[in-house]
Amino acid sequence: MTSATKSAKDLVLGRVFFSKGRRLLNYGPGREDRKAGVKLLRQAAIRGHIGAEVWLGAAYDYGLGTRKNYGIALKHYKAAAVAGDPNAQYHLGVFYHDGTGVRRNYGTAVSWLRKSVKQGDAEAMHLLGLCYRYGRGVQRRPKQGFRLHLAAARRGVLEAQFSLGVCFSIGEGVPRDPTRAFRWYLRAARRGHKDAAHNVARAFEVGRGVSRDRNSARLWYRRSGG
């Protein structure tokens, strides 16, 4: 058997192991099913399947089918990130941003987040937006932070929608606009964001960006848990 044939066979097996492993990890009814899923994903990763590296990163990151181990999660995320996977690049950015499984390094976080953003990852857009707003690993540029939040919010990222409410509320990176702030808070609140619900309630209570409505204020305060 030639090396080329063996490589092709490995690729086929990698896809098979990945498909079965992902299914067990995602939908396996019991602990043993998820553990078996992780084992299959390891076999897929050995055969060069990049998606398996991402899923193994998530397995060790969240403790799915195995014990949490941020160091091992980081290793798998990095393998996929170096290979160009945007989701892995985002997660690697998160690890360096938060100091999870590695020493915190905002500059390295920004580098990986930028790579992910270039490929259209919405979650990375939001986190990179925070970096620009607060000057983490990059010169503080509120307008750029706002633009990134807006792009992420339009793609459905919940935290980005809340962040837009903050930006419009205090005039950060964009002119202050209580009405737009209320609209973005309301959008996030309707999806279950507690802080956004609190801000919606406060807006109804004092009439900021919306007509004053005490009944609506009480409703949203209850939804916020406050």
* Domain-embedded: residue 217: no
Average pLDDT (158-183) is: 98
4-8, 187-191, 221-225, range with the lowest pLDDT: 4-8
Predicted local distance difference test score (pLDDT) of residue 6: 53
> Residue 154 is encoded by which pair of tokens?
């339009």
Q: Which of 83, 113, 144 is the last residue of a domain?
A: 83
> What SS3 string covers the chain?
CCHHHHHHHHHHHHHHHHHHHHHHHHHCCCHHHHHHHHHHHHHHHHCCCHHHHHHHHHHHHHCCCCCCCHHHHHHHHHHHHHCCCHHHHHHHHHHHHHCCCCCCCHHHHHHHHHHHHHCCCHHHHHHHHHHHHHCCCCCCCHHHHHHHHHHHHHCCCHHHHHHHHHHHHHCCCCCCCHHHHHHHHHHHHHCCCHHHHHHHHHHHHHCCCCCCCHHHHHHHHHHHCC
Asked whether residue 122 falls in the same domain as residue 139, the answer is: yes
User: Quick one: 79 and 105 in the same domain?
Assistant: no
Verify that 97 and 75 share a domain, yes or no: no
The answer to the question of residue 173 being in a domain is: no
Question: What is the predicted pLDDT for the residue at 171?
Answer: 98
- Look over the chain and give the mean of its residue pLDDT values, rounded to a whole number: 95
pLDDT-derived band at 2, boundaries 50, 70, 90? very low
Query: Residue range 22-29: average pLDDT?
Result: 89
Residues 69 and 114 in one domain: no
In a domain, 132, yes or no: yes
The pLDDT of residue 28 is above 90: no
Predicted confidence band of residue 33 (pLDDT cuts 50, 70, 90): very high
Residues 40 and 61 in one domain: yes
Residues 77 and 14 reside in one and the same domain: yes
**Mean local confidence (pLDDT), 75-95:** 98
Residues 94 and 78 in one domain: no
**14 plus 71 within the same structural domain:** yes
pTM score of the predicted model: 0.92
- In this predicted structure, the answer to whether residue 208 has a pLDDT above a threshold of 60 is yes
Model confidence at 1: pLDDT above 80 = no
Q: What CATH code is carried by the domain that includes residue 140?
A: 1.25.40.10
Residue finishing a domain among 111, 128, 154 = 154
pLDDT in tens, 115-162: 999 999 999 999 999 999 999 999 999 999 999 999 999 999 999 999
Using CA atoms, how far residue 226 sits from 13, 193, 196, in Å, is: 53, 13, 12
Structural domain span for residue 28 = 7-83
Is 171 a domain residue?
Answer: no
pLDDT at 113: 98
Do residues 78 and 93 share a domain?
Answer: no
Q: Is 107 contained in some domain?
A: yes
pLDDT of residue 29: 84
What is the model's pLDDT at position 47? 92
Residue ending a domain, choose from 83, 104, 130: 83
Query: Total domain count for the chain?
Result: 2
Are 103 and 142 in the same domain? yes
Cα atoms in the 13 Å half-sphere on the side-chain side of 154: 6
Instruction: Specify if 68 maps to a domain.
Output: yes
Residue 73 lies in a domain: yes
Mean per-residue pLDDT, 63-91: 97
